[in-house]
Amino acid sequence: MQHNKKEKKKHILMTLFLATLYLSAFTFGGGYVIVSLLKNKFVDHYHWIDEEEMLDLVAIAQSSPGAIAVNGSIVVGYKIAGIPGVLVSVFGAIIPPMVIISIVSVFYNLFSTNKMIAALLSGMKAGVGAVIASVVYDMGKNVVKTKDLMNIIIMIISFCISYFLDINVIFIILSVGILGFVRTLIYEKKKEAQA
């Protein structure tokens, strides 16, 4: 029985490592793209996390300092397998960029003037835009599905402030985080008063 548990844990850790390694190696366009792919892999494919948990984990990853891809891997890894999950997820997420950056730095002069590579990167920009639009649509749809009027209002106001007033996203995330914290405190106090 104990042996089966250890084997299952090893399998989960190996799967977590290989999944984050694969996603990191084949994801172009930054952290918001990998968020969508993490959702596809861990919510839709493995069913290790549900949609609502993924929204919470993404919010944590976005509000933490550092690269979203690494932060996303950290929170997903921790949710799935604790500290060992964090370690294997982070290694999986950082190995491909380290290798790619090392190769690019060695051959920088060749890459910087190559028209084929410039065209390839330009084409990737369109794909990145589509993936980010898909993430926004999926996550927005999930917020609306909760039918929590406050969440919907916060989402719309956050978008409007970011888009029309050009306020830095960091300030919006911090403000919404504080609002969420206060809202949770009020909810807990009401719950205690009813008990």
**Any idea where the domains of the chain sit in the sequence?**
2-117
Lowest mean pLDDT: which of 12-16, 71-75, 103-107?
103-107
Distance CA 16, CA 9 (A): 10
- In this prediction the pTM is 0.58
pLDDT of res. 11: 92
Most confident of 47-51, 56-60, 135-139: 47-51
Tell me the DSSP string of 36-69: HHHHIIIIIIS-SS-HHHHHHHHHHHHHSSS-HH
Which residues, in sequence order, are CB contacts of 28 under 8 Å at separation 6+?
124, 127, 128
The CA distance from 144 to 26, in Å, is 31
Model confidence at 150, pLDDT cuts 50, 70, 90, reads confident
Share of the chain above pLDDT 90, in %: 14
